[in-house]
Structure 1
Amino acid sequence: MANIVNLDRVSKGYGAAGQLLTDVSLGLDDADRVGVVGLNGAGKSTLLRLLTKLEEPDSGRVTHRRDLRIAWLPQSLELAADATVKDVVLGTAWLDEGFGAEHEWAGDAGVRSILDGLGMPHLGLDQPVGPMSGGERRRVALAALLVRTADLIVLDEPTNHLDVAGIDWLARHLVTKRGALVVVTHDRWFLDAVCTATWEVGDQQVRAYEGGFAAWTLARVERERIAAATEARRQNLLRKEIAWLRRGPPARTSKPRFRIDAANALIADVPPPRDSVSLRRLATARLGKQVYDLERVTLHAGPKRILDDVTWQVGPGDRIAILGANGAGKTTLLRLLAGRLAPDAGTFRTGATVRTAFLSQELAELPNQLRLLEAVEEVAKRVQLGDRELSAAQLAEVFGFADRRVWTPVGDLSGGERRRLQLLRLLATEPNVLLLDEPTNDLDTDTLASLEDLLDSWPGTLIVASHDRYLVERVTDTVYAVGDGALRHLVGGVEEYLASVSPDDQGVTRRVAGASRERIPDQRVDPRAARKELARLERAVAKLEQREAALHDEMARHATDYTRVAELDAQLKGVQAERAEAEEAWLTLAEQVPDH
C-alpha cells in the first residue's frame, strides 16, 4: 500500500459552529476503505472537504500524492437546469473530466449498468436534469462519479435517495472498485458491508479504528469501560448494540475482527433486544384484538395503482417493515393506515382503541417560538413508554438533547435536530400504533441506537417504511414488499426482497475478518468436520492468548533492558499475527456452519 493523503496537525473551526477539529493527524493509503461516523455537527463533512482540499485548514497541512485523482460527492450539489443526463454522466457538466466524443451512450454497457443499479434504467441520453426530483439529480451525479476512474472516492451520504436494492448494489459495486474510499453515512449496514476502517469524529479529534461499524461499536464499549466507568447508561446501550450484532438474523454476514472470548464475555449477560412475548401481551391489553383490517382494498396515488384487491390484517404488537422501490407506494400505504387517505375500493377498518402516530418524511410544523424542552412539555410532561416512565427532559436526553441544549429555541435547531424533535413529540402523545416513514433521515448513528433501544421496549404496533436495512432487521419481525399493486409477505426478509429484485446466482458477498472481502461461491461444508476444526481453532486461540500474556509479563520484568524488550516485542508481534490469523479462520468457518 502507498500513502496518498496526509493530514498533519490540522485544525478547523467556524464562527457560529465553533472549533470542530484540533491538531488532527491522519494518513490515507491507496487501498483504505474508511467509514466516517460521529454526531451531527461534529465535523464529518468538514473533514471530507479538508481531505479533498476543497477547504484549507486554519492551521496544519494537508498533502496529496502527486497527480492524485479524486472523485467527490458532496451532500448538496448544483446541476445546471438545462444540462442533460449525457452532459452530467459522460460530459463535463459537473466533474472536471469528461469521457470525450468517442464514447457512445448506448454502447457503453458500464454506464448503463451503473444507471440500472442506481434505479434509473429509464433515463435517456437527452433527458434534462432540471425537471428531475432532488433524489434523481443526486443519483445522476453519483453515476457520473462511479463511471470515472479515481484514486480516491469521497462520498458524503451516498445512500440518501437510494432504496434497499440500490444501497445493496452500491455496496457491491464499491467493494469491487479499485482505489481508496472515504464515506460519511448513517447507514450502518452499508458501513459494515464496505468499510475496512472507521474514523470517529468527536471532541475536536478523529479516532481511527480497524473494521466497520460492528468493530467500531465493540471498540467504543472497550474504550468507555476502561476510560469512563461512570458512563454506565451509555455503556449498557452499546453492549445491547453488540448483542444485536452477534444475535442478528442469519442474513447478517459481516462480523468484526475481535477476540472471541472477550466478545462473548462482554455480551454473555445481555438479554435479547426485546421480549416479544411480554410486549405482545402488553400490546394486546392496550390495543384489543384488531388494529388494521384491509379487505380486498384497491388504492391509487394519482393514476398509479398502489394496491389491487389486497387483503391484509395487522394485529396488536406486530412489528412490520415495508420495503419497495422509490415510488412503489410505501408512503401512500402509510397514509392510508394513518387515516389520511381512503381506499378506492374495498373495506378498511381500524380498531376502536387504536391511537396512531405518523412520522412523515416532511418536517411537521414545530413551535419555533418555544424552547426545545417547552416544545416537548407542550405535548406531555411525563411519558409512559412500555415499562419505563420518563420525564420530558429524560425523553429529550434519549434523543440526544442533553444539558443546555434543551433550552435552545426550536427555530435555531438544525434539520436533523428538528427531525429528532418531531419524533420525540410524537412519542410523547403515547400512541399505541407507530407509523414511521423513513425515520432514519438526518439521524446520526448514536441517535439511531437510542431510538432502537427505545423501540425495543415499546409494546404497541410498529410499521416502518425504510431503506435502512440495519433498522429494518433490528426493530421489526416481519417484512412485506409493496409494488405492482401487490403486498407480498417476505418470509426471508430483506434477503428475499433483494433476491427478487436483483437475483445473484454467482455466490454471496461475504465480509471476512479484518474487513477484507472476497467473492465466495455458495458451498456446503461437512458440519462434523467443521465443528472439530472450530474447536481446534478455539484451543489454538486460547494458547496464543496465554503466550501473549506471558510475553507482556516478561516485557514488564525486563523493562530496563532495551535489547531484551526489542526481542520480546518481535516475538509478541509474531504471536499476535498468529492469533489474528486463527481468529480470522474461525470467523470465516463459523459463518458456514449452522448452529455453531
Structure 2
Amino acid sequence: MNLLTAQQITKSYGVTPLLDGVTLGIGDNEKIGVIGQNGAGKSTLLKIIAGVEEPDAGEITKMNGLHIGYLPQNPDFRGERSVLLQAMAGIEQQNREAAEYECKAILTRLGVNDLGQKVGELSGGQKKRVALAAALVTQVDLLILDEPTNHIDNEMIEWLEDYLRRYKGALLMITHDRYFLDRVTNRIVEVAGGSLYSYEANYSGFLSLKAQREESLAASARKRQALLRKELAWIQRGAKARGTKARFRVERFEELSAQPAQKKAQGLELRSLSSRLGKKIIEIEGIFKSYGERTLIKDFSYNLLRDDRLGLIGPNGCGKSTLLKIILGLVSPDSGQVEKGATVKIGYFSQECGEMDPSQRVIDYIKDTALNIQTPDGVLSASQMLETFLFTPDMQYTAVGKLSGGERRRLYLLRILMDAPNVLLLDEPTNDLDIETLTVLEDYLDTFPGAVIAVSHDRYFLDRVARQVFVFEDGSVLTGYVGGYSDYLSCRKEEEPERGAPARKVPAAGRQRERKLRLSFKEQRELETIDGEIAALEEALQENERQLAEQASNYAALQGLTAEKEGLQAQLDEKMERWVYLNDLAQRIAEQDS
C-alpha cells in the first residue's frame, strides 16, 4: 500500500530542470535511501515530498490522514524556547506528558544534556541533534531525514542505526554513510540527470544492480552504434529510396540517428597532487591541552611517517579538531611540542570550509590559489581542474553562494589539493560530500605520496582509508589500534570486561600496542583481490609483448609500447612484493591461532 505518490514532479532553479518529470511511490514500512551527486536534487525532492517546497509541475498524492515528520539538512531555531520544548514542539499537548521521558532519553543519547538551554544559543551541530530528536519522538507514518548522521559521533550513529532498523513506519532519507545505508534501507533511489532510478535493495545490492544496469546500457549503445554503421554503409553506397524496402532502410537510419546517444555518466577523477617530502615529517612530543578544568589531550606523542594513514575517533567535543589545530599551529599546547620537517606542506580541510565569499565566481576562487597545476597528466589550468571536479564551464562562472553545501565542500577540497600539499589534515571530510566524491577521494588517498590524518565519524571511510586509529578514551588519553574502525571495534569487544572487571587500556603515546597479529579490514580485502590483479597485469604484459613483436619496425609505436611495458612491470613488481607480505602475514596469523 502506497502512503504517498509523487507523480511527474518537475522542479527548476535555472534553465536545466533539477527534477524532470520524476515519479516516486513510498510504501508502508519501506526504508528508502536517496543518493546522488551533490546538487543533483536530492534535498529538493525531500522538501517537495515533505511539503516544504512546491513543484513547478506534477502532484503529490497522500493517503488520508498521513502524518509526515521532516528533518531538514540545516535546521534554524531561534528565540527563547528551551531545548526540551523545541524537541517536543511537534507532539500534541495531550500526549506531551507521556512522550517527555522518551524525548529526554533520545536527547541524552544524542549528547544533548542541558535541556533547559535556549535553542538560539546552540551551535549548528547541536541544533541538528535537537531537530533529529524532535523528528524521532513525534509519531508519524512517514519519517523524512536529510543527512541525519551529520554532526553526531560514531556511538550515536550506531544507536540511530539500530533505532531506525526497528522503526515502525516508512523512512525516506538522504545519507552518505554507506554502512548506515547498507544496514537500514531496503530500497535505494538514485537521483541523476533530472531522473530517478529505483533499486529494490540495500546499498550493497544497489551497487550490484547498478553495475548490471550500466552494463546493459553499454551493450545497448554498442548495438545501436553497430546498426548505425551498417545503415550508414548501405546509404553511402548510393542506394535510392525508390522501393518500400529501400525507404524502410533510410527511415530506420534516420530513426537511429535521431535517438539520443547514451550519455556516459560524468565521473569525478582525482590524480595525486603533492610536493616533495623529506625524511622528517611531524614529531609530536608530550602534548597536553586543557580548557579551564577540562583536560582534552593528555601526554600524547607520535612520530608521523611518510605513508601514515591515521584516523581520530571520539565523541563530539573531546579534542579531535583541537589536536589537528595544534599540529597545524593554530592552537598552542599547554606543554609539549610539535616539530615539522623543512619540506612539510600541510593541506588542512576544515569543517567550516574556510572563508568563502558567496559573491565570488567559482573559477576566481580556485585561481586565487593557482592558475595552473602540474599533474601526472601534464599541466592543467584552473578551469580544466574544475571540470575534473564536475564543475561545468557554466558553473565555473556562477557565484559560490549559488552552490549546494556539498558542491561548496567539493570546491573547497579542490582548492586545498591545488596547493599540492604533502601532508593532509582532514577534519570531517565526509560531511556533505556525495558517495561518488567520497569513493574517488578514498582512491586518491590510496596513492597520495604523503601522510594523512583524518577526523571522521564515517565508519566506512575509516575502514577504507585508515591503517591505524587513535581513540579518545578515559576523557583525554589517546589509545592506538591497528587498522580501521571495524578493527578497533573487534579489539574493543575482545577487551570487554569479564564479571564486571574493568578492561585494561594502554595509552598509545604513538607506539604500537602489543596485541595479537590480525589483518586489517583493508588488508583482508586486498588479500582477496590481489591474485586477480596480478593475473590481469601478467596478461597485460603478454599482450604488450605481442604488440612489441608486431610493431618491431614501427619506431614511434615502439616508444609508447616500451614505456607501457616499464609501467606494467613496475606495477607487477609492486603487487608481487605486496602479495608476499600479505601471505606471510596471513600465515603468521594462522600459526598464532592454531
CA distance in 2, matches of 1:5, 1:440: 31
Change (3 A) 1:419 1:57: closer
Equivalent residue in structure 2 for 1:131, among 114, 121, 125: 121
Change (3 A) 1:364 1:80: closer
2:95 alignment partner, SS class: coil
Change (3 A) 1:134 1:365: closer
Q: Which amino acid aligns with 2:157?
A: I
Match of 1:307 in 2: 297
CA distance in 2, matches of 1:501, 1:51: 42
1:293 alignment partner, SS class: strand
Change (3 A) 1:333 1:98: farther
Match of 1:21 in 2: 19
Q: Which amino acid aligns with 1:71?
A: G
Contact 1:398-1:450 within 8 A present in 2 as well = no
Match of 1:103 in 2: 98
Match of 1:476 in 2: 466
1:292 is the counterpart of 2:282: yes
2:322 alignment partner, SS class: helix
Count residues in correspondence. 448
Equivalent residue in structure 2 for 1:172, among 152, 162, 178: 162
Match of 1:329 in 2: 319
2:452 alignment partner, SS class: strand
Q: Which amino acid aligns with 1:408?
A: T
Contact 2:466-2:484 within 8 A present in 1 as well = no
Q: By how many angstroms is 1:418 displaced? A: 2.9
Change (3 A) 1:307 1:400: same
Q: By how many angstroms is 1:135 displaced? A: 1.6
CA distance in 2, matches of 1:455, 1:136: 31
CA distance in 1, matches of 2:470, 2:153: 14
Contact 1:298-1:344 within 8 A present in 2 as well = yes
Contact 1:185-1:191 within 8 A present in 2 as well = yes
Q: Which amino acid aligns with 2:24?
A: L
1:346 is the counterpart of 2:345: no
Q: By how many angstroms is 1:317 displaced? A: 0.9
1:45 is the counterpart of 2:43: yes
Q: By how many angstroms is 1:373 displaced? A: 3.8
CA distance in 2, matches of 1:13, 1:411: 17
Q: Which stretch shifts more, 419-428 or 483-492?
A: 483-492
Question: Normalization by structure 2: what TM-score?
Answer: 0.68
Q: Which amino acid aligns with 2:111?
A: G
1:130 alignment partner, SS class: helix
CA distance in 1, matches of 2:416, 2:119: 37
Match of 1:488 in 2: 479
Q: By how many angstroms is 1:469 displaced? A: 1.8
Match of 1:70 in 2: 68
1:445 is the counterpart of 2:435: yes
1:359 is the counterpart of 2:358: no
Q: By how many angstroms is 1:324 displaced? A: 1.2
1:116 is the counterpart of 2:90: no
Question: What pairs up with 1:395-544 in 2 under 5 angstroms?
Answer: 395-410=385-400, 412-483=402-473, 484-491=475-482, 493-495=484-486
CA distance in 2, matches of 1:391, 1:143: 47
CA distance in 2, matches of 1:326, 1:55: 33
Change (3 A) 1:22 1:353: closer
1:316 is the counterpart of 2:306: yes
Match of 1:88 in 2: 86
Change (3 A) 1:294 1:504: closer
Q: By how many angstroms is 1:321 displaced? A: 0.9
Change (3 A) 1:388 1:314: farther
Q: Which has the larger radius of gyration?
A: 2
Contact 1:366-1:410 within 8 A present in 2 as well = yes
Contact 2:468-2:483 within 8 A present in 1 as well = no
RMSD (CA atoms): 3.3
Q: By how many angstroms is 1:399 displaced? A: 2.1
Contact 2:463-2:483 within 8 A present in 1 as well = no
Q: Which amino acid aligns with 1:471?
A: F
Q: By how many angstroms is 1:136 displaced? A: 1.4
Superimposed CA distance per residue, residues 314-339 of structure 1 (whole angstroms, 9 cap, x where no aligned partner): 11110111111111111110011112
Question: Normalization by structure 1: what TM-score?
Answer: 0.68
CA distance in 2, matches of 1:54, 1:425: 34
Match of 2:6 in 1: 7
Q: Which runs of 5+ in 1 are unaligned?
A: 233-273, 506-593
CA distance in 2, matches of 1:504, 1:477: 20
Match of 2:266 in 1: none
Contact 2:370-2:419 within 8 A present in 1 as well = yes
Superimposed CA distance per residue, residues 165-208 of structure 1 (whole angstroms, 9 cap, x where no aligned partner): 21121111100111110001222222222111111112222111
Q: By how many angstroms is 1:381 displaced? A: 4.5
Q: Which runs of 5+ in 2 are unaligned?
A: 223-269, 497-589
Match of 1:391 in 2: 380
Q: By how many angstroms is 1:432 displaced? A: 0.8
Q: Which amino acid aligns with 2:48?
A: L
Superimposed CA distance per residue, residues 25-72 of structure 1 (whole angstroms, 9 cap, x where no aligned partner): 222111111011122222212221232334443333311111222211
Equivalent residue in structure 1 for 2:29, among 21, 28, 31: 31
Change (3 A) 1:474 1:32: same
> Identity percentage over the alignment?
40
Change (3 A) 1:156 1:503: farther
1:58 is the counterpart of 2:56: yes
Superimposed CA distance per residue, residues 137-167 of structure 1 (whole angstroms, 9 cap, x where no aligned partner): 2212211221232211111111121112211
CA distance in 2, matches of 1:332, 1:72: 33
CA distance in 2, matches of 1:450, 1:85: 39
Superimposed CA distance per residue, residues 561-594 of structure 1 (whole angstroms, 9 cap, x where no aligned partner): xxxxxxxxxxxxxxxxxxxxxxxxxxxxxxxxx9
